[in-house]
Chain A
Amino acid sequence: MAIARRSTIFAETLVLVAALFVVAAANSEGDALSALRRSLSDPGGVLQSWDPTLVNPCTWFHVTCDRDNHVTRLDLGNLNLSGNLVPELGKLEHLQYLELYKNNIQGTIPSELGNLKNLISLDLYKNNISGTVPPSLGKLKSLVFLRLNDNHLTGPIPRELTRISSLKVIDVSNNDLCGTIPTTGPFERIPLTNFENNPRLEGPELQGLAVYDTNC
């Protein structure tokens, strides 16, 4: 795909310049972040440095990379962002920290986030996110911190999350979740306050009894 790169500067200064300035945009992580940028509204201009013509996103502000130029952290908390998350975020295979808390983000949590096999922290709290918690988050085998509180999430707490033994902090308070609270695996240690203010949440599931209908 040919993208004119700063063609206005060239047009003025060089007559013999070839019309075609093709930039090999071969960085899939940069493309994924560009998709996020297009989907977000950024009145503060905090994503202005996100230049897709650069060879990788490692010099973009609020992006941290490792030595191999793979994105490991996105620190976008409390930056007045709105708009939606994008499924392309799932392509950031080396991402460890996804920090999008305290913004005005809407829409749903893409199930593709379940592909982030190195994710340690998923912080989407204090936004306007709706829809359900994707069961695919159960694939996040490195996850330690899952903070989805203070959104408009509905549906049940996926049982798949009970299989993530590394999970230390789960907070889904202040949403509209339904069904019961898991009690196995990491959920054994989570205080009940981290589930409060979900009017349709029925309380801890009772083990050993026959399956019963929930309101979900």
Chain B
Amino acid sequence: MSFLLLILFTLIVATSEETEAEALLKWKSSLYQSGSLASWGIRNGTSPCSWYGISCDPAGNVGDLSELVYLSLFKNNLVGPVPSQLSRLSKVRHFDLGHNHFNNTEYSNFSAMPSVLYLSLFLNNLTGVFPQFILKCTNLTYLDLSQNAFSGPITDSLANLSKLTELYLDSNNLIGGIPSVLGSISGLRILILGDNSLGGPLPSSLSQLKFLERLDIISAGINSTIPPELGACTNLNYINLSSNQLSGPLPFTFVNLTKMREFDISSNNLSGEIPGEFFKSWPELIVFKVQNNSLTGRIPPDIGLAKKLTVLWHLPDSLSQLPNLSFFSILSTNLTGMIPPDFGRNGMLQFVHLGSNPFFGELPQGLCTGLALIEITVNMNNFSGTLPSCLKDCSALSRVRFEYNYFIGNISEAFGVHPNLNYFDLTGNSFTGKLSGDWGQCSSLELFHIDGNNISGEIPATFCKITSLKDLSLASNLLTGAIPMELGNLSSLFKLNLSDNFLSSQIPSNLGSLTKLQRLDLSRNKLSGNIPSELGNLDHLILFDLSQNNISGKIPNNLGNLLTMQILLDLSRNSLAGPIPSDLGKLIQLETLNLSHNFLTDQIPKSLSSMLSLESVDFSNNNLSGPVPTGKAFKDDSPQAYVGNPDLCGDFSRVKSLVMQIPLRIHIAIEKR
């Protein structure tokens, strides 16, 4: 079929002087030929009717496109300019060149197409200003120039297309505002202008469009209030004005838009309150999105009247009356209040996103009625109390973020077995209880954070079955017992933080198997024994903190193999003895080194001068002796980095005292005169 169309294409391009044969041969010469067109040639007679692949009509013509009514070249791989000869199809009514790679088109050679009703250049690489020839196609009802790179303004003369019902100009580089004359195209039903740099106001003249059903001007730099006159467009069922700079209030006149189904004015600067009357008057409402504005006040209780509502981005009071609500999100507002106690009663809630608002009170017990919850993210609010008891039976749970609230309760009673759980963060609450062995059954778990709670007991060994685990943080709790050596089985782990607990006993040597580990923090525990030399295998490590423990023995030489160490190497406040290994000098990316408050002896190795990335060192309170290495990091530090080492000497301390004496001498000399 496309072959036939291409032939017809060629024939349109034929000038009045060229014959059909000449046009076909011209086209043949532009093709890569496999020999199948060998029969095409003037020597076989001037008529192409006997050529391979060609049939003629009784008059001996290959084709006559002057009667063509419907042309669609949609979704091919056509490149290059649109030939202006195409516009000579004077009878064509449907003209669709969409979804190709047309570019570099010179529109001035195009004739007006008097019959065309449907014209689409959608999704090409067309540039230039609004093609003038289109403005003469006065019978147009459907015009689509979207997803190109047209530039310049939307010309006022567009109003000449008085019969337009659908206008798509979105996703171009159009500037210069929305022309108010668009309001005079009285039959317009669909107006899509977004994803341009239009700027300017939303014209109140659009209120003249009595048949307007769909108004979509997303992300076009529109800067004005929403004209209340738009309330006269009573056929509107879809409004999307998101991601502009609209300001001022939501017009009360919108209560007249009784056919409204999808309403999105998110990501603007709108202020004032949401009129509750909207929900009384919009019985067909399905989508309501007003987030990322400066809207204030309570959510109108009348929202409970919008029975068909399924996508809601704002918090109401009578939420629980919405029978179909499954997806519910309010993020980063200043809205406060509590979630209604029977919210979730509809048993349909799957996605609840309430991050970063000052909401308070408890999560309703019925939140997970229906056990359909897949995601619940309520991080950074002021929620308190215990979690709904149905949560532990929500086997579809995938993403849980409760961090930074005031939740209490026993973590093992709040949660059960969640085989689809992928992301779990309870950081910064007051949960108590012990870690249950059941967590081992969470075979999809990748992140588990319970930092900053009051969790006690030991780290269960079954934890270590979660081989998908990538980020494990149990810091700042009341955990006791040993670090299970089975933790070494968590081969996907790139972050391990067990700091600030009461963990005791030795560091298991098979932590050295965690070769993907980037950050290891075991600081502030009661760990004892030696630093296992196997930890020198962790060749992805960028942070390593064992500070504030009871670790003894020597610093293993092969910590010098941790060549990617960058952020911090901190072994301070332990009972480490022996010398500082000179191999540490190989850590040329390390920025902060803290070995203070140990029993390290001998000299600070000269090799440490090669640690050119060092910004900060601390060797204080050891038994080090000898000189301080050369190098900027060792000179520029305050004496605090070296105090408590009685036998340490060095250029550093001498230089400092010289500097302090000189000003005194000058002072005396002046006085004597």
Contact = CB atoms under 8 A, between A and B. Distances in A.
B540 interface: yes
A145 B613 CA distance: 7
B395 to A, nearest CB: 14
A59 B379 CA distance: 12
A143 to B, nearest CB: 13
Contacts of B401: 59
Contacts of A101: 564
B392 to A, nearest CB: 21
Contacts, number: 85
B542 interface: yes
B414 interface: no
Interface string A107-123: 00000000000000101
Contacts of A145: 589, 613
B471 A61 contact: yes
Interface in A69-117: 75, 77-78, 99, 101-102
A16 B471 contact: no
B542 A16 contact: no
A59 to B, nearest CB: 7
B138 interface: no
B71 interface: no
Given A22-B264, A77-B540, A168 B632 contact: yes
Interface stretch (B116-124, B285-293, B657-665): B285-293
Given A9-B350, A24-B242, A61 B310 contact: no
Nearest to B309: A18
Interface in B498-557: 518, 539-540, 542
B74 interface: no
B470 interface: yes
- Using C-beta atoms within 8 Å of the partner chain, give the interface range for chain A: 20 to 34
B324 A20 contact: no
Interface in B381-431: 401, 423
Nearest to B308: A16
Contact of B267 (A14, A24, A78): A24
Contacts of A49: 446, 470
A26 B267 contact: yes
Contacts of B324: 14, 16-17
Given A9-B350, A24-B242, A18 B564 contact: no
B243 A22 contact: no
B266 interface: yes
Nearest to A145: B613
Interface in B462-481: 470-471
Contact of B542 (A18, A75, A147): A75
B23 interface: no
The 6 closest A-B pairs by CB, nearest first: A18-B286, A169-B612, A16-B324, A18-B287, A17-B310, A18-B310
Interface of B: 195, 218, 240, 242-243, 261-262, 264, 266-267, 286-287, 289, 291-292, 308, 310-311, 324, 326-327, 331-332, 348, 350, 353, 355, 372, 374, 401, 423, 446-447, 470-471, 494, 518, 539-540, 542, 564, 566, 588-589, 612-613, 615, 632
Given A16-B308, A21-B311, A77-B542, 13 more contacts: A1-B218, A16-B324, A17-B324, A17-B326, A18-B262, A18-B310, A24-B243, A24-B266, A61-B470, A61-B471, A78-B539, A101-B564, A169-B613
